[in-house]
Amino acid sequence: MRRKSKLILLLAVFWVLSSICYAQEVQIPVDLDGKVINIDSELNEKINLFEEYRNFQNANLFQISDTLFVLEISYKPDNKLIKERIMYSQEDVAKFRKKVTGQLNLKKPKLKLNHEGRTKLVVGTTTLSFALYGFTTPVIVKSDDFKVSAALYLLTGSAGFYASLAATKNVPVSDAAASLALYGGTRGVLHGLLFTYATQGDTFRADTLLPMQSIFSIGEIFLGFHYATLNDLHPGTVEMLGFGSDLGLVWGGGIAHLFDFDHISPISLSILGGSVSGLFLGKYMSQKQYYTQGDAYVVRGSTFLGGYIPISIINMISPKDERVYTASAILGTIAGLNLGTKIVKDKNFSTGEGVLINLGEFVGCALGFGFAYIVSPNDEISSSLLLTSSAIGATAGFGLMYRYYANNSSSKENKSSFGINFNPNALISLVTGEEFIANSLKSLFGVSFKF
């Protein structure tokens, strides 16, 4: 009976371990302050954490689930690269991070900053400087002289490059932080326009429009960057935040049409409110479910289909009230959004896969349009045929690409971050009651990893 209990317990442990074989690993900082992503050989020489590893290369910390972590240590004795992976619980990770932070505070080494998103951010802010901020400066100073205006434009545009370069010199810039900052910078232009219309209506002063757009754009760059940095967001979450806000813009415009808003102020306020509400929707969705950047692209494509298909169907009926189109599109996007969240769950599509799935949808839509043009008479093109054919093409393109990558994508390989090998000899040793010490336990399960 005792042996059976041991066997049952052992199999239960094996089942639990097996259930995490397909978990996705997300790299996380190794210190409590979130400043250090990787401990390389140079940093280790200063904080002396891995002295027992000969020719130490680097150490990285990954999160597999809410309660499971792995520390990956690479070292190169005798010119042979060896990777050791140590499983950590939440308590173990807290102790390790506390130790790292303590050594960092004690030794105070000069840390290498994470600048993976710095180039994207500098290029993006420089583009905005020449596209918008440069035109704003002459408006603010009310310059009527072309030479002065041209000089101010060029100086402001150039300042955007140097300002962003200097501001990010000594701070970490993740790819997610850069993406959310630039999302805010670009959408801030539209938000500034909507805010101007919402507050001033048709009587707005032209010289207030560009400054307001620039204020919103620059403000949202700072807000997006600091929010992503402080909360250590990953690209999938950022993409869902941006997608939710964009979807809210569309819904806000649709609501204004449904309620027959006939003045620019309430219309703008509805669209602006929709964008803010959509941002919170994206945040809520990313908290309820994990999304990679590719997953977010797939959800975006599914939502578009959800809104486009009902329009093509309603167009066959040709309703007199145009609001029927709007209502069906809003309801359709809600359905498409829900479907999208379900079909990407546990798929972990890569960014490239998500892009290709959306591209397949676009190309399918274009093929549908092309087919409709071919079969239509020269002098008459049916809008119903165009919409229906393109909707079928988009759905087919999306479905085929999704099915291909869902079955054959690299995301399935990425899920298998590691595998568990079972040693039956150690199990026999346990069940028969033979000495079962720590060394035997180590031989019971073997862990293999794919890199």
Taking each helix axis from N to C end, the angle separating 206-230 and 134-141, rounded to the nearest 10 degrees, works out to 130
CA dihedral 238, 240, 241, 245 (to 10 degrees): 140
Alpha carbons 104 and 109: distance in angstroms, whole number: 7
Model pLDDT, residue 44: 83
SS3 3: helix
Scanning 80-141, the segments in alpha helix (DSSP H) are 90-107, 118-128, 134-141
Give 196's contacts (C-beta < 8 A, 6+ positions apart).
204, 208, 209, 212, 213
Summarize pLDDT for 62-83 with one digit per residue, the tens: 888 778 889 999 998 888 898 8
The residue type of 183 is Y
DSSP 8-class letter at 169: T
Q: Are 448 and 418 in contact (CB under 8 A)?
A: yes
Question: What are the tokens at 192?
Answer: 């500034």
Q: What is the number of other CB atoms lying within 10 angstroms of the CB of residue 366?
A: 14
Model pLDDT, residue 360: 96
Alpha carbons 389 and 373: distance in angstroms, whole number: 10
Summarize pLDDT for 290-348 with one digit per residue, the tens: 999 999 999 999 999 999 999 999 998 888 899 999 999 999 999 999 999 999 998 88
pLDDT band at 448 (very low <50, low <70, confident <90, very high): very low
Alpha carbons 299 and 340: distance in angstroms, whole number: 4
pLDDT band at 112 (very low <50, low <70, confident <90, very high): low
127 has a pLDDT exceeding 50: yes
Among candidate residues 217, 256, 240, the one with its CA nearest the CA of residue 295 = 240
Alpha carbons 341 and 306: distance in angstroms, whole number: 13
CA dihedral 153, 158, 159, 160 (to 10 degrees): 100
Alpha carbons 125 and 183: distance in angstroms, whole number: 11
Alpha carbons 100 and 49: distance in angstroms, whole number: 8
Summarize pLDDT for 84-109 with one digit per residue, the tens: 999 999 888 888 888 888 887 776 66
- Stronger pLDDT, 220 or 435, i.e. the higher one: 220
Q: Half-sphere exposure (CA, 13 Å, Cβ side) for 208? A: 11
Question: What are the tokens at 385?
Answer: 């045929």
409 has a pLDDT exceeding 70: no
SS3 of 333-368: the string is HHHHHHHHHHHCCCCCCCHHHHHHHHHHHHHHHHHH
Model pLDDT, residue 22: 41
Which pTM was predicted?
Answer: 0.70
Alpha carbons 253 and 251: distance in angstroms, whole number: 5
Label the pairing between strands 418-422 and 445-449: antiparallel
